[in-house]
Structure 1
Amino acid sequence: MDFTAGARADVRITPSDVGKRVSVRRIAEIVGGRPVFTDAVGVLTSWDAGALVVTRRNGEAVRIAEPLLVAAKIVPDTPVRRGARAPRATVRELQESAARCWPAPETARLGTWTLRAAGGFTRRANSALPLGEPGLPVAAAAEAVARWYGARGLPAYIQVTTGGEDGDEALAASLDALGWTAEGHALLRTAPLAPLADLSGAERVRLTREVDSGWLARYHRTGGLGDAALAVLTGGPSVWLASVPGAAEGAPAAIGRCVVDGRWASFGAVETDPASRRGGLATAVVAALARKALDEGASGAYLQVEADNEGARALWDRLGFGTHHGYHYRRGPRPADG
């Protein structure tokens, strides 16, 4: 007897939904001539050769033959807990943590400002972080910064925070008067860590301490900068790198990076193969990294995202991140500018 004949209309998923979180009902056994049903909720990790696999949150893989599937639907990710908040923090605390979690191989002090260089790999690792006082008038400090970067063949940048309780609008105004132009506007966003660890899909993610060639193949920023880029990517208090295997050899389907720094977990480099987008992979990467950070004692999460990156901002909005403060870079006048 075909017990599924009248129920197959309730199967509302297809092989194209691999990577999504689903709820399925299947026939587990036949007792006394009647079917006994059982349910499973998890990520649809494969569907081929007449069978599908649903991977539960605890890592258990449930294999289901197609004829035994009687109902199935896509379900949303576990929602962010309402009322949860990120830890309170000053702009300075978060900027200092961000500098530790994205560390430049070369640094120097100008008063309490930090000059950072990484061979040109990202503005963040090749800019002065002006926390506190430089010990000089702003004009003289700006000249010192320009000389330091010029000696390394790099453009002179100063990272300036805005907004928050201790943003530095006064410095921005002073640099503006000196001809240092604004570019690279970004946001530092925070969220409570625990709800991120509750998101689905973590069982699909591989975590490691090392950057391998596959991870770098998916990461779009390295640009052949070699050792300088690797020093930044693998530097920090407690670095974890995530990847989701792709369908073929080579670059993973998705990657991410998290650095645990005391009570904070810094997230970044979350990237997905365009062919695998909308499959929940970015969420899975964040979930896996958040669980690891939670195990190491962190309670808050933050990330830095370009203000005009609407796609990334939409993802972080959905995962519960809110803007703590903004920042941008001031670039010193080029030699041709006088």
Structure 2
Amino acid sequence: MATSSVQPDLPLVRRLEAVGFRAWPAASVVYDGSWQVRLTGGHPSKRVNCVVPLDPSDHRDLDQRLQKAAKRFADYGRTLVLRETPLAPPVLIQHLERTGWEVFETADVMTVDLSRLELPDTLDYLPSHDIGRFADACLHVAEEDPALKPALAEILSAIKPTSGFFMKQDPSNGAVATVLCVQDNDLAGILSLAVAKSHRRERLGTDMLSSALRWARISGARTAWLQVEATNEAAIALYDRFGFTKAYSYRYWRKS
């Protein structure tokens, strides 16, 4: 990772990584030592198609293990992607740099203390439990291929913690905003927050996020977390307004 004057809280990183895995579960998860190998044949999301090293000291046999992972990804018709968090071995990252790998995306994990937030007394949007309808809404808002619905529904159905599916519907345009809130004990994850291009700058993102966070707090969560691409300035500005602060960053690597 890029050097920083503030070192990440590794126990917090481990906990947020664990709840993140449960909030967006991969279809296949195997371990090579402490490396988690996550694959989902029908859905392209990087979070469910990557290798995630989870112990800074686990850096034995790097070439062999990377080749083994690459073979497993190839069996799924995918190119090997490695997700580097603060738990990744520095020796492994140095090896990637030497052997022609490149970083192609950076994201931030952000958290906020829900007890400190001023949120509406009522929910503007109530959560649904209709997975099929929510999957349709997500794909419509993001303008993604409707053929991804079975794979997305499979991911959503596999989420074990309590989940709330929030949607805003427009009578003439269908779904125009979505957000998923996954409550895992005292932690609530915010995922799939999206607003249709035709309805941006209408405070929908603010209203949807407010409802999800209010629901999470009512349900017993004390801290909310989310993951956002480091280049998504509009989303980061929204989260800043709610008091979210960066806990740590992660990067995706692939062979160049």
Instruction: Determine which of 103, 107, 112 is the counterpart of 1:182.
Output: 103
**Residue 68 of structure 2 aligns with which residue?**
144
1:165-200 Cα distance to aligned partner (Å, 9 max, x none):
x5644432222222222111111111112345x334
In 1: Cα distance, 2:11 partner to 2:213 partner:
19
Q: Determine if the alignment matches structure 1 residue 203 to structure 2 residue 123.
A: yes
Q: Which moved more, 1:187-196 or 1:312-321?
A: 187-196
Across the aligned residues of Structure 1 and Structure 2, the Cα RMSD in angstroms comes to 2.5
* Matches for 1:161-172 after TM superposition, within 5 Å: 161-162=85-86, 166=87, 168-172=89-93
Equivalent AA in structure 2 for residue 227 of structure 1: P
In 2: Cα distance, 1:130 partner to 1:223 partner:
33
Q: How far does residue 215 in structure 1 lie from its aligned partner after superposition?
A: 4.5
> Does the aligned pair in 1 maintain the 2:114–2:224 contact within 8 Å?
yes
Q: How far does residue 209 in structure 1 lie from its aligned partner after superposition?
A: 2.0
In 1: Cα distance, 2:102 partner to 2:26 partner:
23
* SS, match of residue 90 in structure 1: helix
**Residue 4 of structure 2 aligns with which residue?**
none
Instruction: Determine which of 208, 211, 220 is the counterpart of 1:288.
Output: 211
Instruction: Determine which of 96, 100, 117 is the counterpart of 2:22.
Output: 100
* SS, match of residue 181 in structure 1: strand
Q: Computing the radius of gyration over CA atoms, which structure comes out larger, 1 or 2? A: 1
Closer, same or farther in 2 for the Cα pair 1:105/1:134, shift >3 Å? farther
**Which sections of structure 2, spanning at least 5 residues, go unmatched?**
1-8
> Does the aligned pair in 2 maintain the 1:182–1:329 contact within 8 Å?
yes
Q: TM-score, normalised by structure 1?
A: 0.65
Closer, same or farther in 2 for the Cα pair 1:146/1:88, shift >3 Å? closer
Q: Which has the higher contact order (CA 8 A, sep 6+)?
A: 2
Equivalent AA in structure 2 for residue 312 of structure 1: A
Q: How far does residue 223 in structure 1 lie from its aligned partner after superposition?
A: 5.7
> Does the aligned pair in 2 maintain the 1:263–1:297 contact within 8 Å?
yes
Instruction: Determine which of 322, 325, 331 is the counterpart of 2:245.
Output: 322
How many pairs align?
A: 242
Closer, same or farther in 2 for the Cα pair 1:202/1:215, shift >3 Å? farther
**Which sections of structure 1, spanning at least 5 residues, go unmatched?**
1-86, 334-338
Q: How far does residue 327 in structure 1 lie from its aligned partner after superposition?
A: 0.6
Q: Which moved more, 1:167-176 or 1:278-287?
A: 167-176
In 2: Cα distance, 1:280 partner to 1:88 partner:
35
> Does the aligned pair in 2 maintain the 1:201–1:283 contact within 8 Å?
no
Question: More helix by proportion, 1 or 2?
Answer: 2
> Does the aligned pair in 1 maintain the 2:82–2:252 contact within 8 Å?
yes
Closer, same or farther in 2 for the Cα pair 1:126/1:209, shift >3 Å? same
Q: TM-score, normalised by structure 2?
A: 0.84
* SS, match of residue 147 in structure 2: coil
Q: How far does residue 290 in structure 1 lie from its aligned partner after superposition?
A: 1.5
Q: Determine if the alignment matches structure 1 residue 159 to structure 2 residue 83.
A: yes
In 2: Cα distance, 1:101 partner to 1:289 partner:
15
